[in-house]
Amino acid sequence: MAKQTIDQLAERLAFKLSGRAGRERPPTPAAIRLIAQCLKLVSTFTGNYPTMQFHVNVSGFDKQGQIFWTPVFEDKAVLDSFAGGILGMVYITH
């Protein structure tokens, strides 16, 4: 699979979060742009602080009142480490 741009990732994430939250309407272009801005900030931080790992997650409640937790960004160094295995177990969703 080709590497996604931040804008493509933001759009995919916006639709995923909208679906998880049970929204009736698709995300607005403004919401997608805001998510893209957040992801661009995280991308800048990871470039400026190479010895730090960044984790971005979104949690909330779906229509049935069940909690969901969706990973947004996980640093590759963390995913390749022992901690990555633990996070992998946490991120498994049904």
For residue 1, being part of any structural domain is answered with no
Helical pair 29-48 and 6-20, crossing angle rounded to 10 deg: 120
**Greater pLDDT, 71 or 44:** 44
Indicate the length of the chain as a whole number: 94
Q: In this structure, is residue 35 part of a structural domain?
A: yes
Task: Report the predicted TM-score, pTM, of the whole model to 2 decimal places.
Answer: 0.63
| Per-residue pLDDT reduced to its tens digit, 20-70 | 777 888 889 998 998 899 888 888 887 888 777 777 777 777 777 777 777
Provide the pLDDT for residue 43. Answer: 81
Greater confidence (94 vs 84) lies with 84
Whether 87 has a pLDDT exceeding 70, the answer reads no
Rg (C-alpha) for the chain, rounded Å, is: 14
Q: How many domains does the chain have?
A: 1
